[in-house]
Chains A and B, each alone.
Chain A
Amino acid sequence: MQYTFQGYRRPDGKVGARNLVAVIPTVICANDVGQAICRQVQGTIGYFHHQGCCQLPTDLKRVTDTLSNLGQSANVGAVLLVSLGCEGTDHARIFEEIRATKKPVEIIRIQELGGTSRAIQAGIDAAQRLVMEISGLQRETADASKIIMSIKCGASDSTSGLASNAVIGYVADKLVDLGGTVIFGETTEFLGGEHILANRAVGGADGPVGQKIYEIVNRMEARAKSIGEDMRGGQPTPGNIAGGLSSIEEKSLGAIVKSGHRPIQGVLEYCDRIDDKKGLWIKDAPGREPEILTGMACTGAQAMMFSTGRGAPQGFPSMPVIKICGNPNTFQHMEHDMDLNAGRIIIGEKSIEEVGEEAFALLLRVLSGQMTKNEALGYFGSMDIFCLGPVI
């Protein structure tokens, strides 16, 4: 069977699931101007992060790369950059890299324009122009091999590994088998299960991909140790053991199961794009939502499948986030935030494969334009960029 979705074909060949004008402040100090523009102009979203100045060069490059790759992602049809003028990010490079994808891009500079009110006026005019320019674009049929799906779990409980993560694992395997792309991260959650992931790497645990998996886990542990914390000690916790988890492998696998069973093709750094690489990939990103969702969206993912048990409501400005809820009680309790009830597996109404097929069908509908619950509620404003060094 051939699976397709309806998407927006971009000049660089990528296919978007949304057709948004992204308002991108190149530094936190431009956020208020960006927010005023977004409030006024329909069809825009903003990336209101907290970075871009008084950071070490490594982090300024990360912020520049991340913002550029968000602007280049296929769900974004046009970009308005809002620069202050003296920030540490390279806003000229962001502008040039987005322009190279042949999508419309404009930039306003607050200091040059004469302050807040003039920048807001110029920004509203520019954003309106961009919305008018792209809003008539029609969706076209695209093959499932064009899908780039990111996956994550958050606000998990004991149902997550058994129900919602198992469902996402089913969808991940199906999408990889159809020639698509799947990306997972949450390096923190690999702890204790990194040898299992490394054994699934192309080239085996001793090959470059397997070794890179160990490297990103060691790097994350070393960062925690640098401030005196040992993340591996005492795992699984007494609470985990009381809940039925018998080893750290079992604990990690509860999260890892959402990546399915296909070979791991490689490891991406936090700001990397995936472009047209296929199969299952890891992105080195932390578990916290604002940072990992940004990392996944800048990879180029058109949608995220998000597993939860206790009920995580949030989305992302430009990437629809589909909430798969493993806990049947939470689904009923928070049904205006949860997109699919995988809790029916726990109460014996449905099998993992049956709910997996429903989840895959929902993914295709969302990619074709159906809103997720957090999109319809406008619950997608919080985002940030994962930086490594201190604020200076």
Chain B
Amino acid sequence: MNTKQLLGNVAKWFHKYLLLGEEGDPASWAIFLVLVLAYLGFSLGLVKAFGTTLVLEFTRYAHDNAAHLYIARTIIDNGEYSRLANLGTVWLPLYHLVLMPFTVIDKLYVTGLAGALLNAVFVATTASTIYLVLRGWLGLVFAFMYGFSVYSIIHASSSYMVPIGQFLAFAATYYALRYNETGSLRELTKATALAMAASTARYEAWLVLLAITLAVVLREAGKRNWVIAAYVPAMWLGVVGWLIYNWAIFGNPLEFIVGVFPVPPGTISSSSIISHIHGSLIAS
């Protein structure tokens, strides 16, 4: 297997598993590979020059970089205070849960590459999903316009939360459009699962959820197709789960609206590894 085939297979693999069975085509694989390599190159360049991608904090745009890395790690590596409640409220939990295994590796945590590795894949997949929606030259142009915009590059090299939300919301929209074209309920199931996941990643995605729900109801209501009743609640399970989490941990299902602490106060153990690393980061 030569390098070209290997890269093609890697891109196909990511498409297949991140986009729930959508294999893409050579153009979408090319978009994915070009963008991932560009983002990783930029991130590694930042690490070589400054020792960490957290310097992106100085752009005053990705200023929550360190906080997201910290929350992800504090769930499992905070001495006696390690607990699920450290996910806090305000910020939705999915990104921190996905990031968690990567932040355990000290090298990835300190350099910020834990977030950069994940986000590079998420932003690149969003770009190739844009191509898959539009297709043709228009798709290529818009995918690269999105992929090489300054914000996308900053997102892809940081541990910012936006990319996972965008990726899931775009993927859900892609399948919702396919369902609209074909009427296939399997496409709708994929849209449902992705929209549910998106709603646990970013609050903006709740609007996408609402839009897909309205589209589905308006499309099927006239046909009196009651089977559709199964898909709408399945879509809102993430929102319901977030309300239950807030109720269970903070005693108020709407704590994420009124709460002020992304992390509950008094949860930092002075003996934990993270406090040492943060101490040395602040000192440097």
A and B associate in one complex: no
Residues of A within 8 A of B (CB): none
Residues of B within 8 A of A (CB): none
